[in-house]
Amino acid sequence: MSGDLAIRLQAKIDGKTKPPGALGELEALALKIGLIQQTLTPSLHQPTLVVFAGDHGIAAEGVSAFPAEVTAQMVANFAAGGAAVNVFARSNGLALKIVDAGVAADLSAHAPLIHRKIRPGTSNSLHGPAMTAQEAHAALAAGAAIIDELHGDGSNVVGLGEMGIANTSAAAMIMALLLELPVEQCTGAGTGVTDGALARKIDVLTRAVARAHQAMAGRPGLMLAQDTLTQGALTQRVLEEVGGFEIGMMAGAMARAAHHRMVILIDGFIATAALLLAKTMDASVLECCVFCHQSDERGHRLMLEHLDAPPLLKLGMRLGEGTGAALAFPLIRSAVAFLNEMASFEEAGISG
């Protein structure tokens, strides 16, 4: 059925009052959204951006330019409506929800937050697993449950963002483990570390990934044997060793959103690392993903190339928070609008 629908969607796109292909990537975007929703007349209901926040024990190794306390301070900023993602979500018609996945502070007084804290921050993955198996499972399940609630309330579009000091480190290690790449190819400036601090970050993450490899393989030097684990087990083991609670929740959310055939707005480097985890659980999640932008964080371009996923925007951004998804949403809305509202040659009485 999907093949037949794709032919009919393409014919509808080609029949609009324009030369074939004249709307460029918007035409591919309209086709994709129609296929996600399995209809010739897609619609966007209650678009929502969910930002997951969590702290990381590896921040103690000096891998970030900012102290760990900034995570909680930024979450308070989100709750007050003052962050970049608040501004862009308001500007572009997205509801915004903030989730405490594992911030190392008591945020119970912040009523607008969704409280799903696994515990106050992960453990330091340089010295041992970032979380227990039970915690990894709980993070994945919590992300899925949040999507179930959104879908139940009528949303069919969800963007996923994050906040957490040192979460570029967790994302880089997830990338290195799942794509079997050297850590230095996966590791960038994050919050702005440069020169000697960046070299230290790469050294710390290289040692943490080596520890994780050893823990997962059972002996030093053995590369990650993906074929010896079920896909779900691989996702959980990588998350357990080096992940963050917010990244785990994002991965669980992505997998469940794909189950509901929701349009999934993929943000930047950290969100795409979460997608690598979700894809390892179920490769079909990619069918529902729209890749919103290419982050300026080192490694994101390689991730997108691995996924064969050209981004809608390339603005040199590396803020995270879901900002790229919020900025790309008007393009998604425009693609759906032209597919549904633009006249065909026949309707307009114009010779094709």
Catalytic residues: 321
User: How many Cβ atoms from other residues are within 10 Å of residue 225's Cβ?
Assistant: 11
Structural contact between residues 288 and 264, judged by C-beta atoms closer than 8 angstroms: yes
CA–CA dist 330, 350 (Å, integer): 29
Residue 198 backbone phi and psi in degrees, to 5: -70, -40
Handedness of CA 258, 40, 313, 181 (dihedral sign): positive
Distances (CA, A) of 333 to 26, 147, 248, 252, 258: 10, 21, 28, 25, 19
CA–CA dist 221, 217 (Å, integer): 8
Q: What DSSP string describes 56-122?
A: -GGGGGS-SSS-THHHHHHHHHHHHT-SHHHHHHHHHT-EEEEEEEE-SS--TT-TTSEE--SSSS-
CA–CA dist 250, 147 (Å, integer): 10
Show the beta-strand stretches assigned E in the chain: 48-54, 95-102, 114-115, 157-163, 263-266, 289-291
Structural contact between residues 270 and 172, judged by C-beta atoms closer than 8 angstroms: no
Classify residue 313 by its DSSP letter.
Answer: B
CA–CA dist 123, 140 (Å, integer): 17
Upper half-sphere CA count for residue 302 (Cβ side, 13 Å): 19
